[in-house]
Amino acid sequence: MRLHRFFIAASFCATLAGCAGMDPNALVQSGTLATQAAMLSDADVRTLSDKSCTQLDKENTIAPASSTYTQRLNKIAAQLGNNINGVPVNYKVYMTKDVNAWAMGNGCVRVYRGLMDLMNDDEVRGVVGHEMGHVALGHTKKAMQVAYAASAVRSVASSGTGVVASLSSSELGDLSEKFVNAQFSQAQESAADDYSFDMQKKKGLDPSGLVTAFNKLAKVDGGQSSMLSSHPASPARAKHIQDRIASGK
């Protein structure tokens, strides 16, 4: 088991490039936490998401109920629905200029002002539906596992207090940052695109906002927007949605 944990830790270190100079005992301990991370249950992910979302809400200015941003998002939320796989969704706008949006396994959906300034409601709806797709399809669970493992391997948190409870405040902040900047695979991105498309079609909504949203994202800062750092190949993805619209499937 000890050797097994060592190899798990070494694998995470190779992926994250964050274990240079770590002694073997520390590597084994981090391997234990990495193993725990890979075994996070749905309940663990929801708890970590609760903690992470609360932390991020404290660090960002949230648009008040009277804000036009909140009113726009409420309108979009009414179209998309109030749950993901039975988990209640809560929507909020961060008053920050970054072009970004994300969703967590506890139903926490956050949209940044910069994204809403760039896009119309149909486009925002397409993007939010995409982020909800990452949750519904289990991608965010894997992203939380990787984020937790990255924090655990880097800091070698003390063991014995449980997977969730072992994170300190600073580690929670680190985990939150890693989750928000999570890299999804091309297959995951495509699946989330299709989820947004299918959900909108099922609800009788126009999914063409996904196409124009991707085209707009590709032009933000020369294609270097916060979302494109984890959402590659926008032109190809826009064409995929265009093809689905044209085929009616």
Q: Which residues are catalytic?
A: 131
Residue 204 vs residues 32, 54, 60, 207, 210: alpha-carbon distances, Å: 48, 34, 34, 9, 15
b/e map 50-89, b = 16+ CB within 10 Å: bbbbebbeeebebbeeeeebbebbeebbebbeeebeebeb
Contact 85, 107 (CB under 8 A): no
User: Is the torsion defined by CA of 198, 126, 209, 235 positive or negative?
Assistant: negative
